[in-house]
Amino acid sequence: MEPETLTQAGTDENAAGEPETLKNYIGGEWVASAATETLDDVDPATGAVLARVPLSTEADVDAAARAARAAQPAWAATAVAKRARAVFALREALSSHQDELTRLVTEDMGKALDDARGEVGRGIESTENACGIPNLLKGETLEGVASGVDVEMWRQPVGVVAAITPFNFPAMIPLWFLPYAIACGNTFILKPSERDPRTPQRIVELIDGIGEIPAGVVNIVHGAHDAVNGLLDHPEIDAISFVGQASTALHVMDRGTRSGKRVQALGGAKNSMVVMDDADLDLAVPAMMQSAFGNAGQRCLAGSVAVVVGDEERRREVRSALAEAASTLPTGNGAEEGVVCPPMVAADARDRVAAAAERAIEQGSEVVVDGRDRTNAAGALMGPTILTVSDPESELAREELFGPLLALLEVEDLDEALEFVNSSRYGNAAVIFTSSGEAVRRYRNEVEAGMVGVNVGVPAPVAWFPFAGWKDSMVGDLHANGHDAVEFYTRKKVVTTRWQPAKKGAAFGTH
Ligand code: NAD
């Protein structure tokens, strides 16, 4: 595959001049879905329709599941070092196409180029970590649990695994799962978000060109709810990795486990950023801008509530620093260098967030910065908006609104801040800005969240560590990435062996 080409093999070539319909990749072949309906994948910066996404049916899912099942025994029997080399070949392909993948992310969902490059880079890091699979897979042994008896624990693949992924990280999130799953000896089906599937499609095209990854090991099925439910119900699928909204995560866990699958389901978030009265605002405010408004607030780690600790004077100081920074934040087409706040994924998403802002104002929130009148031709852009919290239990303060809308809550002290943060139903990320070691120590110990940032606005996933939230931000137990990924994608087997005494006369001595 040429690094610079944007023409996709996994598309319908007949539709000259028309947006192409994506194909599924099943058993090593690009195949048209049986779907009669499609959705448009729209560039939120221009409104252009980039591709049509087939709403794959249960029959498509069934074909993918059978192909993955057929390929699994031989793949599991492939030497672990060879599987590691296959993942390394994927790492090389991703790395040499990083710019192209970055552009696809920006076109498909609006994300600013720098952010998109970072997301692809994080996906590559997960792939790199999975290259170490021979070390990660090693089991445990205990000699002499009884006389002449030793015990070993092996990790074996779960079988066929599927990943169902959200729109906001179309490169990174599929790569949280795919490399680890196949490195462990599983075969894999990806159902990417129907809103921006061209980046994962391109990743699978790259896989198609990698000889070390045999047909059927990786498959992609496009679509929405029917495809997801088909995967959740399918008897040939053994495990599901999911990322998306909290309500979808519950549905996936419920339906997937009912058919006996292992499920990890990472859900939504409402993350607070506590700004202590000793925080250096020159460091904190830019970090808060990136957190609240980067990717138009469409990150599960976005800081969407600023919890400002301090007296009247400090509150005024923080409020005006946030207002100044938000109203001058580079906002617009994500393809333009330097933009921090790009369009949202689509006009309907923008309208939903603007309506939530309006409701908050009607309920008593004060406007600190209003970005609602800033939009683009596609109707998907909304400028950074900051509103004060009039009621700590309001929709603005408690619900995931997933847009460039920052709620501002002012409190007396760290006790009050922690009480607010920990009363959330979510526990994905929690951030504190301070120069006090004592405040940091208390916050990181007491805060109820899976990912904690200390003077860091976005405590982003790091490939070598587990990534997920607590409470309603995650259902299941094993997180994504790091050693948790290996735990999730393997089953443990414990073998107890009694070593028979040597037959009389065998030349082993008497010991
Ligand atoms: P979503 O839940 O709408 O969609 C996620 C996937 O589930 C998609 O592939 C979609 O096709 C499918 N889906 C959606 N509704 C379904 C239904 N009713 N039945 C069957 N399948 C369904 O999520 P989204 O809007 O694409 O992504 C944004 C959400 O993801 C936010 O809530 C965000 O916080 C969350 N997220 C969480 C993390 C995390 O690590 N916890 C990371 C990224 C995004």
| Local confidence band at 511 (pLDDT 50, 70, 90 cut-offs) | low
Q: Concatenated DSSP letters for 298-357? A: -STT-EEEEEEES-HHHHHHHHHHHHHHHHTS-BS-TTSTT-SB---S-HHHHHHHHHHH
Q: How far is the CA of 406 from the centre of ligand 1 (A)?
A: 21
Annotated active-site residue in 131, 184, 300, 341: 300
Question: The CATH number of 24-267+473-495 is which of 3.40.50.300, 2.30.40.10, 3.40.605.10, 3.30.300.30?
Answer: 3.40.605.10
251 CB within 6 A, ligand 1: yes
> What is the structure's pLDDT at 504?
75
Domain ranges of the chain: 24-267+473-495, 271-454
pLDDT for position 18: 86
**Predicted confidence (pLDDT) at residue 377 exceeds the cutoff of 80:** yes
**Among the listed residues 4, 22, 5, the one whose alpha carbon sits nearest the alpha carbon of residue 13:** 22
Instruction: Give 501's pLDDT tier (boundaries 50, 70, 90).
Output: confident
In the CATH hierarchy, which top-level class contains the domain 271-454?
alpha beta
Residue among 39, 105, 168 whose CB has most ligand 1 atoms within 8 A, to mutate: 168
Nearest CA to ligand 1 atom 30: 244
| 31-81 residue pLDDT tens | 999 999 999 999 999 999 999 999 999 999 999 999 999 999 999 999 999
CB of residue 222 inside a 6 A radius of ligand 1:
no
Active-site residue 131, yes or no? no
What is this structure's pTM? 0.96
Region for residue 506 given its phi and psi (left: phi exceeds 0; alpha: psi -120 to 50; beta: otherwise): beta
Other beta carbons within 10 Å of 15: 12
CA of 246 to the centre of ligand 1 (A): 8
The DSSP call for residue 480 is B
